[in-house]
Copies of this chain bind each other. A is one copy, B any other.
Amino acid sequence: MMVAMRSEATPEQIEAVLARIRAEGLTPLELPGGERTAIGIASAIPVDLREPLAQSLEAMAGVDHVAHISRPYKLASREFISADTVFTVGEVAFGGPEVVVLAGPCAIESEAQLRAAAMAVKQAGARGLRGGAFKPRTSPYSFQGLGEEGLALLAAVAAELDMITVTEVMDSHDVERVAAHADILQIGARNMQNYSLLIAAGETGHPILLKRGPGASLDELLLAAEYCLSRGSNRVLLCERGVHALDHTYTRNVLDLSAVPVLKEVSHLPVAIDPSHATGVARYVPAMCRAAVAAGADALLIEVHPEPSCALCDGPQSLAPPVFAALMDDLRALAALGGRCVYDPRKSEKP
């Protein structure tokens, strides 16, 4: 941590900052500059002291700003765990050589719709079935999901087809109920900073798919993961699904693929990409899936609907089954180039 004083700071104000740092048992070092003085701290600062100390220093007279040297997260950091985290859900390993594809409809609408989607994506090589039972909708007038009935359908159809499942949980008090039916708990982008939910999900020890909020920084995403990790979960899959950008003319958000190399560098957790929500437009999804695999993503979330124009939710971004099947062939070839694989149901063994 380093404190930049204002240029008009008095010697007394500088002394007060030095004293405040010493009061925490830390060693300050004065760095006089041309226009202003900076004060560095030549000791390790415990992770839980960083933010309160910084805020306290910033509120002192004569202080301009505080710059951090260390990252604000700990358990999620590569500095804390240097090897890649690889975890399994059922027989599927995340963070290993397989690029795992999770696919299915945005919302579970009926047994027929879910089964049609599931069979199509399973046949093309998806390992997991995604589908929303509780839907976070911007408008109270939109379809809100089938709820518990949807959860039961998801579990039943996936069991039939030997797939793992992922579904969103929106409320801390639904966590147990959803965890009873689904293999992976999804925390959606709008709830990335719903801390009650992060804590409740973390306490189950269940695998968690944590989506980055479109306005969230990567540090905020990793701090949200830290909430889960610090409560006992150690199977968190980070997911980039598009960030807010200035131009909404052609796509909903901008898919930030540089999040892949950055997150793989600063964290040990596996990284998934969701190009369906990022673009919002089915015809741009295949190019973005290919790019995600080329960039090194560990998993992909892809929306597939047996008949997109009849979908109750997000039809415009859903791939039709034949498009998805062709895409999976592309992804297999791309993954192989990078020494990785995408499951191929036409081959006898699983990766």
**Chain A residues engaging chain B, CB cutoff 8 angstroms:** 2, 4, 7, 29-36, 38, 40-48, 50-52, 55-56, 58-61, 67, 69-74, 77-79, 136-143, 170-173, 190-191, 193-196, 213-220, 223, 226-227, 230, 243-251, 254-258, 260-262, 265-266, 278-279, 282-284, 287-288, 290-296, 308-316, 318, 330, 333-334, 337-338
Contact = CB atoms under 8 A, between A and B. Distances in A.
A315 B48 CA distance: 17
Given A33-B45, A50-B141, A218 B2 contact: no
Contact of A55 (B69, B217, B311): B311
A295 B290 CA distance: 6
A32 B26 CA distance: 11
A254 B251 contact: no
A38 B40 contact: yes
Nearest to A265: B283
A243 B214 CA distance: 13
Given A38-B2, A55-B314, A250-B266, A288 B258 contact: yes
Shortest 7 CB-CB contacts between residues of A and residues of B: A34-B44, A215-B215, A59-B315, A294-B294, A48-B141, A217-B247, A190-B193
Contacts of A137: 195
Contacts of A55: 311, 313-316
A42 B47 contact: no
A260 B246 contact: no
Contacts of A194: 170, 190-191, 194
A20 to B, nearest CB: 8
Contacts of A193: 136, 138, 190-191
Given A32-B42, A67-B69, 13 more contacts: A7-B78, A33-B43, A56-B309, A59-B282, A59-B318, A136-B195, A170-B195, A172-B172, A245-B246, A246-B246, A261-B284, A291-B294, A294-B334
A48 to B, nearest CB: 4
10 contacts: A32-B42, A35-B71, A73-B139, A140-B223, A219-B249, A243-B254, A245-B246, A250-B262, A255-B256, A260-B287
A227 B316 contact: no
Given A243-B246, A314-B55, A2 B67 contact: yes
A328 to B, nearest CB: 14
A45 B34 contact: yes
B251 A35 contact: no
Given A38-B2, A42-B31, A193-B136, A308 B59 contact: yes
A32 to B, nearest CB: 6
A290 B139 CA distance: 34
A257 B52 contact: no
A190 B196 CA distance: 12
A293 to B, nearest CB: 7
Contacts of A50: 141
Contact of A279 (B190, B258, B313): B258
A214 B214 CA distance: 11
